[in-house]
A and B are shown apart, each in its own frame.
Chain A
């Protein structure tokens, strides 16, 4: 399933990028530079989405237990961190020709940078804690606290004066721009979703090794709490 999603994501991304670069018309004021939107906006949407899924896994890990939730939590955190870093770089490249600067301490940019640093912090916490039980619990709590930043990132352009434009939607974007935007949005989702499934297998195998003795064959009829 993971590899299939990755393949679907690659096809969608190649199609969307080709459409965005060579078929879609120039934007009236930003000209060709606006084509960065077709990779930047899907990256932003999916960074927030992966963080939201990670938060869901963190909640389930605390509420229901089970190492599967913890493995997916770790995988989604890593994916969200990769997308957040890429988002900042893409944004800087788009900002230079349109705003005249690579970076500005604008509310949207600052809260996105905070999100990236928070994700790095949680991943650092996970790698620093050897006990799987403590690692799962502490990082889940940290993810839930850090998730407060996600709605702030999303609404920052409405709540404060910002250099950054408002959120893009089919109502605010001309029709020819929507096709590549959607293709790439689903492309990034499929690619990173597939990679998250594969990455979760890595985390699950590591946890299984760490819990080695606990996973030894049990006597027939034994009933053991999952976690």
Chain B
């Protein structure tokens, strides 16, 4: 528990500014891009299947 708190304290400098954090930024953008891409693929695949059935 104390190690966890220490890790959290280390993330901020003494003046309260969050240090680093690019890994979180990259994760947020990568997940967003993946969700948009895969959702678009599912829509296009379903549209093609619907056209084939017709």
Q: Which residues of A contact B (CB under 8 A)?
A: 6, 13, 17, 21, 28-33, 35-36, 39-40, 43, 82, 85-86, 89-90, 93-94, 96-98, 100, 191, 195, 198-199, 201-202, 205-206, 208-209
Contact = CB atoms under 8 A, between A and B. Distances in A.
Contacts of B1: none
A29 B20 CA distance: 12
Nearest to B37: A10
B17 interface: yes
Nearest to B27: A93
Contacts of A35: 25
B23 to A, nearest CB: 9
Given A30-B18, A86-B31, A36 B25 contact: yes
Contacts of B11: 97, 100
A202 B54 CA distance: 11
Contacts of A199: 43, 46-47
A193 B40 CA distance: 11
Given A6-B40, A191-B36, A201-B50, A36 B28 contact: yes
Interface range on chain B (Cβ under 8 Å from partner)? 20 to 34
25 contacts: A21-B25, A21-B29, A29-B18, A31-B17, A31-B19, A33-B25, A35-B25, A36-B24, A36-B29, A43-B32, A85-B35, A89-B31, A90-B28, A93-B31, A97-B11, A97-B18, A97-B21, A100-B8, A195-B40, A195-B43, A198-B47, A199-B46, A201-B50, A202-B50, A209-B53
Contacts of B43: 195, 198-199, 202
Max chain B Cβ within 10 angstroms of own Cβ: one of A17, A39, A208: A39
A32 B36 contact: no
A6 B37 CA distance: 11
Given A29-B16, A89-B31, A198 B36 contact: no
Contacts of A201: 47, 50
Contacts of A208: 54
Contacts of B44: 198
A195 B36 CA distance: 10
Contacts of A195: 39-40, 43
A205 B50 contact: yes
A161 to B, nearest CB: 20
Given A30-B17, A82-B39, 20 more contacts: A21-B25, A28-B17, A31-B18, A32-B20, A32-B22, A33-B21, A36-B24, A36-B28, A36-B29, A40-B28, A86-B31, A90-B28, A93-B27, A97-B18, A97-B21, A198-B44, A201-B50, A202-B50, A208-B54, A209-B53
